[in-house]
Amino acid sequence: MSDTPPKNHSARDVLRELFPESYRELFGEAQEQDSPPTLGLYPVADGRLALVQGGQLAEFSPLDPKGNKALHCDLCHFTRSRQEAAFYRVTVAARRTRYVTLCLDTAACQRRAGTRGLAQLADRIFPIEPSYAD
Ligand SMILES: [Zn+2]
């Protein structure tokens, strides 16, 4: 029982464990911030995105675009063209998948959405079934 991992991982810890390269890119040498981010959407490898909230992490995998219809971003709620947004698949449990549409410019999208928009997106995704999360 003594090897149970601590449960209060910060978002940074989770990112550092799962995506060390992205972690270095995002946080680099900036160690001055006292409070680690608890909510955010971060670009990781291969066009994927990681949504982090507290100690939870969801991975968004891009899907091949089909058709030419305009897209409605599920985060900032702007209407985007095919070139400006993409579909992502998020596996939240063994047989449960959610699909979200997000702007390709993640940073600008998050600025438009703000913390509240991010929290609403996180509410749709989390919790992820623990057995699947690792
Ligand atoms: Zn957006």
Q: Domain total for the chain?
A: 1
**Torsion sign over Cα 100, 106, 108, 110:** positive
Does residue 79 fall inside a structural domain? yes
Ligand 1: centre distance to CA 31 (Å)? 29
Q: How far does the centroid of ligand 1 lie from the alpha carbon of residue 75, in Å?
A: 5
Mean pLDDT of the chain: 83
Q: How far is the CA of 42 from the centre of ligand 1 (A)?
A: 13
pLDDT value of residue 52: 92
Please give the residue that has the higher pLDDT: either 70 or 5. Answer: 70
pLDDT score, position 7: 58
> What pLDDT score does 69 carry?
85
Q: Is the pLDDT of residue 132 over 60?
A: no
- Element holding 42 (H helix, E strand): strand 39-43
For residue 63, give its domain range.
11-133
Using the mean position of ligand 1's atoms as its centre, give its distance from the Cα of residue 74 in Å. Answer: 7
Residue 32 pLDDT level (bands cut at 50, 70, 90):
very low
- 1 domain-assigned: no
Residue 5 lies in a domain: no
Task: Convert the pLDDT of each residue in 90-123 to its tens digit.
Answer: 999 888 899 999 999 999 999 999 999 999 999 9
Read off the pTM.
0.70
Is there a domain that residue 2 lies in?
no
